[in-house]
Amino acid sequence: MSKKIKKAIPELRFSEFEGDWIYTTLGKVTKYTKGFAFKSEDYLESGIRIIRASDLNSQTIRQENKNIYIPKQLAENIKVKKYKIYRENIIITTVGSKPELRASAVGRGIYVTNENEGLLNQNLLKFENIKGVNNRFLFSQINTNRYIAYISSIQRGNANQSNITVEDLLNYQVSLTSLEEQEKIASFLGAIDTRLTQLRRKHKLLQTYKRGVMQKIFSQEVRFKGAIGSAFPDWERKKLGELLTIRYGKDHKNLEDGDYPVLGTGGIIRYVNSYLYGEPSILIGRKGTIDQPQFVTYPFWSVDTLFYSEINPDMIPFFLFLVVQSINWKKYNEATGVPSLNTSSINNVKVRIPPDKKEQEKIADFLTAINQKIEAVARQIDRTEQFKKGLLQKMFV
pLDDT per residue over 183-197, tens digit each?
Answer: 999 999 999 999 999
Flag whether pLDDT at 367 surpasses 50: yes
Question: Do 27 and 137 reside in the same domain of the chain?
Answer: yes
Say which DSSP state 4 is in: P
CA distance readout (Å), 156 to 37, 162, 211: 21, 5, 41
All residues at 6 or more sequence positions from 40 whose CB lies less than 8 Å from its CB, including other chains? none
Q: For residue 209, give the CATH number of its domain.
A: 1.10.287
Q: Which of 13-27, 38-52, 341-355 has the lowest mean pLDDT?
A: 38-52
Question: Do 167 and 205 reside in the same domain of the chain?
Answer: no
Question: Do 159 and 198 reside in the same domain of the chain?
Answer: no
Domain holding 359, by residue range, is 177-222+355-397
Instruction: Say how far apart CA 308 and CA 376 lie, in whole Å.
Output: 28
Q: What pLDDT does residue 334 have?
A: 85
Question: Do 331 and 293 reside in the same domain of the chain?
Answer: yes
Assess if residue 8 is contained within a domain: no
Question: Do 348 and 255 reside in the same domain of the chain?
Answer: yes
Percent of the chain with pLDDT over 70: 97
Q: What pLDDT does residue 80 have?
A: 72
Q: How many domains does the chain have?
A: 3
Flag whether pLDDT at 2 surpasses 50: no
Flag whether pLDDT at 59 surpasses 70: yes
Assess if residue 306 is contained within a domain: yes
Question: Do 320 and 335 reside in the same domain of the chain?
Answer: yes
Question: Do 163 and 301 reside in the same domain of the chain?
Answer: no
Instruction: Say how far apart CA 93 and CA 122 lie, in whole Å.
Output: 9
Q: For residue 33, give the CATH number of its domain.
A: 3.90.220.20
When pLDDT is averaged across residues 321-346 and rounded to a whole number, the result is 90
Question: Do 132 and 214 reside in the same domain of the chain?
Answer: no
Question: Do 56 and 159 reside in the same domain of the chain?
Answer: yes
Assess if residue 326 is contained within a domain: yes
Assess if residue 227 is contained within a domain: no
Assess if residue 360 is contained within a domain: yes
Residues facing residue 24 across a β-bridge: 174
Q: What pLDDT does residue 5 have?
A: 58
Q: Which residue has the higher pLDDT, 117 or 276?
A: 276
